[in-house]
Amino acid sequence: EIVLTQSPDFQSVTPKEKVTITCRASQSIGSRLQWYQQKPDQSPKLLIKYASQSISGVPSRFTGSGSGTEFTLTINSLEAEDAATYYCHQSSSLPLTFGGGTKVEIK
């Protein structure tokens, strides 16, 4: 099973700051890495597919990068509506797995 380790677990950020979340895979997954945003009492929403590919309708301040075992989600100029938990997810091999999540709080 591929283990995804996210860091940090929690981040408290002021609006307009840049947020960087890292996801490390226990073995190479190429670019088979997605990022999801989950707000309280809502279902997850796809932000980035295949490590760096944007999703229609998702604000351009969300960008992804990386390949192999190291991946990054960057939120440029954080907005209040970005308060949520962010999860990485690998679709390289079964079982599909998720990172433990990073909760982003707005100061």
For residues 103 and 67, give the distance between their C-alpha atoms in angstroms, rounded to a whole number. Answer: 23
Residue 82 CA to its chain's centroid (Å): 12
38/76 with CB nearer another protein = 38
Q: Give which of 38, 42, 54, 39 is closest to 88, Cα–Cα.
A: 38
Indicate whether 80 belongs to the interface with another protein (CB under 8 A): no
Indicate whether 37 belongs to the interface with another protein (CB under 8 A): no
Q: Which of 7, 77, 91, 105 binds another protein (CB under 8 A)?
A: 91
Q: Give which of 14, 11, 22 is closest to 88, Cα–Cα.
A: 22
82/86 with CB nearer another protein = 86
For residues 107 and 93, give the distance between their C-alpha atoms in angstroms, rounded to a whole number. Answer: 38
Indicate whether 3 belongs to the interface with another protein (CB under 8 A): no
Indicate whether 40 belongs to the interface with another protein (CB under 8 A): no
> Which residues here bind another protein, judged by CB under 8 A?
32, 34, 36, 42-46, 49-50, 87, 89, 91, 94-101
